[in-house]
Amino acid sequence: EPEVTQTPSHQVTQMGQEVILRCVPISNHLYFYWYRQILGQKVEFLVSFYNNEISEKSEIFDDQFSVERPDGSNFTLKIRSTKLEDSAMYFCAPITQGNTEAFFGQGTRLTVV
Amino acid sequence: DAKTTQPTSMDCAEGRAANLPCNHSTISGNEYVYWYRQIHSQGPQYIIHGLKNNETNEMASLIITEDRKSSTLILPHATLRDTAVYYCIVRVVGNYGQNFVFGPGTRLSVLP
Protein backbone atom coordinates (compact mmCIF):
# COMPACT_ATOMS: atom_id res chain seq x y z
CA GLU A 1 0.00 0.00 0.00
CA PRO A 2 1.53 3.32 -1.06
CA GLU A 3 2.39 5.46 1.91
CA VAL A 4 0.70 8.81 2.27
CA THR A 5 1.96 11.31 4.82
CA GLN A 6 -0.11 14.14 6.19
CA THR A 7 1.18 16.99 8.30
CA PRO A 8 0.60 18.10 10.93
CA SER A 9 -0.99 15.15 12.69
CA HIS A 10 -2.81 17.50 15.05
CA GLN A 11 -3.38 21.24 14.89
CA VAL A 12 -5.13 23.49 17.34
CA THR A 13 -6.09 26.91 16.06
CA GLN A 14 -8.16 29.83 17.17
CA MET A 15 -11.40 30.64 15.43
CA GLY A 16 -10.84 33.00 12.53
CA GLN A 17 -7.27 31.90 11.91
CA GLU A 18 -6.00 30.38 8.67
CA VAL A 19 -4.75 26.81 8.62
CA ILE A 20 -2.88 24.86 5.97
CA LEU A 21 -3.01 21.09 5.95
CA ARG A 22 -0.42 19.22 3.90
CA CYS A 23 -0.34 15.93 2.07
CA VAL A 24 3.08 14.69 1.01
CA PRO A 25 2.81 13.00 -2.35
CA ILE A 26 4.54 10.13 -4.02
CA SER A 27 5.73 10.97 -7.50
CA ASN A 28 3.14 8.98 -9.38
CA HIS A 29 0.16 10.25 -7.47
CA LEU A 30 -2.30 11.40 -10.07
CA TYR A 31 -5.52 12.46 -8.40
CA PHE A 32 -6.01 13.81 -4.92
CA TYR A 33 -9.08 13.79 -2.79
CA TRP A 34 -9.68 15.58 0.47
CA TYR A 35 -12.21 14.26 2.91
CA ARG A 36 -13.20 15.29 6.39
CA GLN A 37 -14.82 13.47 9.27
CA ILE A 38 -16.43 15.31 12.13
CA LEU A 39 -16.19 13.29 15.32
CA GLY A 40 -18.79 10.54 15.33
CA GLN A 41 -20.03 11.30 11.82
CA LYS A 42 -19.52 9.99 8.29
CA VAL A 43 -16.49 10.49 6.12
CA GLU A 44 -17.47 13.38 3.83
CA PHE A 45 -16.01 14.32 0.46
CA LEU A 46 -14.60 17.82 0.12
CA VAL A 47 -12.77 18.13 -3.19
CA SER A 48 -10.90 16.23 -5.88
CA PHE A 49 -7.90 17.70 -7.66
CA TYR A 50 -6.07 16.78 -10.84
CA ASN A 51 -3.45 18.52 -12.90
CA ASN A 52 -3.60 21.64 -10.79
CA GLU A 53 -7.33 21.98 -11.16
CA ILE A 54 -10.33 21.10 -9.07
CA SER A 55 -12.22 18.22 -10.68
CA GLU A 56 -15.16 18.09 -8.32
CA LYS A 57 -16.16 19.70 -5.06
CA SER A 58 -18.92 19.25 -2.55
CA GLU A 59 -21.17 21.89 -1.07
CA ILE A 60 -19.01 21.77 2.03
CA PHE A 61 -16.09 23.13 0.01
CA ASP A 62 -17.11 26.78 0.07
CA ASP A 63 -15.09 29.95 -0.43
CA GLN A 64 -13.28 29.41 2.86
CA PHE A 65 -11.52 26.39 1.39
CA SER A 66 -8.84 26.18 -1.27
CA VAL A 67 -6.48 23.53 -2.57
CA GLU A 68 -3.25 23.76 -4.46
CA ARG A 69 -0.09 21.91 -5.26
CA PRO A 70 2.61 24.55 -5.16
CA ASP A 71 5.62 23.70 -7.34
CA GLY A 72 4.43 20.13 -7.74
CA SER A 73 5.38 19.39 -4.16
CA ASN A 74 3.07 19.10 -1.19
CA PHE A 75 -0.63 19.05 -1.82
CA THR A 76 -2.34 21.52 0.50
CA LEU A 77 -5.80 22.25 1.82
CA LYS A 78 -6.24 25.74 3.18
CA ILE A 79 -9.04 27.01 5.37
CA ARG A 80 -8.94 30.79 5.36
CA SER A 81 -10.94 31.70 8.43
CA THR A 82 -11.64 28.71 10.60
CA LYS A 83 -14.93 28.20 12.38
CA LEU A 84 -15.69 25.98 15.34
CA GLU A 85 -17.55 23.60 13.04
CA ASP A 86 -14.40 23.04 10.99
CA SER A 87 -13.07 20.90 13.83
CA ALA A 88 -12.66 17.46 12.29
CA MET A 89 -10.24 14.89 10.95
CA TYR A 90 -9.07 15.81 7.45
CA PHE A 91 -7.90 13.02 5.19
CA CYS A 92 -5.90 13.20 1.99
CA ALA A 93 -6.44 10.33 -0.43
CA PRO A 94 -4.38 10.19 -3.62
CA ILE A 95 -4.77 7.76 -6.48
CA THR A 96 -1.64 6.62 -8.24
CA GLN A 97 -1.40 6.35 -11.97
CA GLY A 98 -2.60 2.98 -13.19
CA ASN A 99 -4.59 2.26 -10.06
CA THR A 100 -8.20 2.84 -9.17
CA GLU A 101 -8.18 2.62 -5.41
CA ALA A 102 -7.47 5.60 -3.18
CA PHE A 103 -5.15 5.16 -0.21
CA PHE A 104 -5.97 7.45 2.66
CA GLY A 105 -3.47 9.19 4.86
CA GLN A 106 -3.70 9.00 8.63
CA GLY A 107 -5.25 12.42 8.70
CA THR A 108 -4.85 15.74 10.44
CA ARG A 109 -6.93 16.36 13.49
CA LEU A 110 -7.98 20.00 13.40
CA THR A 111 -9.34 21.53 16.57
CA VAL A 112 -10.74 25.04 16.38
CA VAL A 113 -11.14 26.79 19.72
CA ASP B 1 -25.92 9.93 -0.99
CA ALA B 2 -24.41 6.49 -0.76
CA LYS B 3 -25.84 3.95 -3.20
CA THR B 4 -25.33 1.10 -0.77
CA THR B 5 -27.05 -0.20 2.34
CA GLN B 6 -25.32 -2.16 5.06
CA PRO B 7 -26.30 -3.45 8.49
CA THR B 8 -25.46 -1.00 11.23
CA SER B 9 -23.47 -3.46 13.30
CA MET B 10 -22.34 -7.08 13.50
CA ASP B 11 -20.48 -9.28 15.92
CA CYS B 12 -18.07 -12.06 15.06
CA ALA B 13 -16.15 -14.49 17.23
CA GLU B 14 -12.38 -14.31 17.01
CA GLY B 15 -11.01 -16.90 14.57
CA ARG B 16 -14.29 -17.29 12.75
CA ALA B 17 -15.16 -15.93 9.34
CA ALA B 18 -16.80 -12.53 9.27
CA ASN B 19 -19.31 -12.11 6.47
CA LEU B 20 -20.34 -8.51 5.86
CA PRO B 21 -23.24 -7.98 3.44
CA CYS B 22 -23.91 -4.99 1.24
CA ASN B 23 -26.88 -4.16 -0.97
CA HIS B 24 -26.37 -2.07 -4.08
CA SER B 25 -29.50 -2.75 -6.07
CA THR B 26 -29.14 0.35 -8.29
CA ILE B 27 -25.55 -0.33 -9.30
CA SER B 28 -24.72 0.56 -12.90
CA GLY B 29 -22.88 -1.68 -15.32
CA ASN B 30 -19.71 0.38 -15.14
CA GLU B 31 -19.62 0.71 -11.36
CA TYR B 32 -17.28 -1.31 -9.22
CA VAL B 33 -17.79 -2.36 -5.62
CA TYR B 34 -15.12 -1.15 -3.21
CA TRP B 35 -14.62 -2.02 0.43
CA TYR B 36 -12.79 0.12 2.94
CA ARG B 37 -12.53 -0.06 6.69
CA GLN B 38 -11.79 2.48 9.38
CA ILE B 39 -10.25 1.59 12.69
CA HIS B 40 -10.99 4.24 15.30
CA SER B 41 -10.31 7.66 13.77
CA GLN B 42 -7.57 6.43 11.46
CA GLY B 43 -7.78 7.02 7.75
CA PRO B 44 -10.00 4.61 5.84
CA GLN B 45 -8.01 1.57 4.71
CA TYR B 46 -8.54 0.04 1.29
CA ILE B 47 -9.47 -3.65 1.42
CA ILE B 48 -10.61 -4.89 -1.98
CA HIS B 49 -12.69 -4.05 -5.01
CA GLY B 50 -14.35 -5.91 -7.87
CA LEU B 51 -16.72 -5.67 -10.81
CA LYS B 52 -18.54 -8.96 -11.18
CA ASN B 53 -16.09 -11.76 -10.55
CA ASN B 54 -15.23 -12.84 -7.06
CA GLU B 55 -11.98 -11.39 -5.83
CA THR B 56 -9.51 -12.45 -3.17
CA ASN B 57 -6.42 -10.83 -1.73
CA GLU B 58 -4.35 -11.19 1.40
CA MET B 59 -6.92 -9.32 3.47
CA ALA B 60 -10.29 -10.59 2.33
CA SER B 61 -12.55 -12.10 -0.29
CA LEU B 62 -15.29 -10.31 -2.16
CA ILE B 63 -18.28 -12.25 -3.40
CA ILE B 64 -20.56 -10.42 -5.84
CA THR B 65 -23.91 -11.91 -6.80
CA GLU B 66 -24.55 -12.67 -10.43
CA ASP B 67 -27.07 -9.83 -10.77
CA ARG B 68 -24.54 -7.57 -9.00
CA LYS B 69 -27.21 -6.19 -6.70
CA SER B 70 -25.43 -7.31 -3.58
CA SER B 71 -22.05 -8.43 -2.35
CA THR B 72 -20.38 -9.93 0.70
CA LEU B 73 -16.99 -9.15 2.15
CA ILE B 74 -15.45 -12.13 3.88
CA LEU B 75 -12.69 -11.92 6.45
CA PRO B 76 -11.75 -15.60 6.65
CA HIS B 77 -10.29 -15.66 10.16
CA ALA B 78 -11.29 -12.55 12.06
CA THR B 79 -8.94 -11.21 14.71
CA LEU B 80 -9.49 -8.57 17.37
CA ARG B 81 -7.61 -6.12 15.14
CA ASP B 82 -10.34 -6.47 12.52
CA THR B 83 -12.74 -4.59 14.78
CA ALA B 84 -13.62 -1.55 12.68
CA VAL B 85 -16.28 0.18 10.63
CA TYR B 86 -16.52 -1.40 7.17
CA TYR B 87 -17.71 0.64 4.21
CA CYS B 88 -19.11 -0.70 0.96
CA ILE B 89 -18.89 1.85 -1.87
CA VAL B 90 -19.84 1.75 -5.54
CA ARG B 91 -17.89 3.90 -7.96
CA VAL B 92 -17.15 4.15 -11.67
CA VAL B 93 -13.59 3.05 -12.36
CA GLY B 94 -11.70 5.42 -14.59
CA ASN B 95 -13.76 8.42 -13.63
CA TYR B 96 -11.11 9.86 -11.36
CA GLY B 97 -13.09 12.97 -10.73
CA GLN B 98 -15.77 10.92 -9.07
CA ASN B 99 -15.29 10.69 -5.39
CA PHE B 100 -15.86 7.77 -3.03
CA VAL B 101 -19.18 8.26 -1.23
CA PHE B 102 -19.09 6.85 2.29
CA GLY B 103 -22.24 5.75 4.04
CA PRO B 104 -22.43 4.96 7.75
CA GLY B 105 -20.96 1.47 7.17
CA THR B 106 -21.13 -1.63 9.35
CA ARG B 107 -19.48 -1.58 12.75
CA LEU B 108 -17.88 -5.01 13.13
CA SER B 109 -16.96 -6.11 16.63
CA VAL B 110 -14.71 -9.14 16.86
CA LEU B 111 -15.22 -10.75 20.21
CA PRO B 112 -12.64 -12.88 22.09
Model pLDDT for residues A78-99, shown as the tens digit of each residue? 999 999 999 999 999 988 766 7
**What average pLDDT does this structure show over A14-39?**
88
For A59-76, the pLDDT digits (tens) are 999 999 999 887 777 889
CA distance B104 to chain A (A): 6
| Of B71, B82, B72, B76, residue with least CA distance to B109 | B82
Q: Does B43 touch chain A (CB under 8 A)?
A: yes
Residue B70: the pLDDT is 96
Q: Given the DSSP bridges, would you call strands A10-13 and A19-24 parallel, antiparallel or unpaired?
A: unpaired
**Percent of chain B with pLDDT strictly greater than 90:** 79
Report d(CA A41, CA A22) in Å as an integer: 23
> Least CB-CB distance to A104: which of B32, B43, B49?
B43
Residue B30: the pLDDT is 86
**Percent of chain A with pLDDT strictly greater than 70:** 91
Report d(CA B61, CA B58) in Å as an integer: 8
| Of A11, A62, A97, residue with least CA distance to B96 | A97
Chain centroid to CA A62: 14
Residue B44: the pLDDT is 94
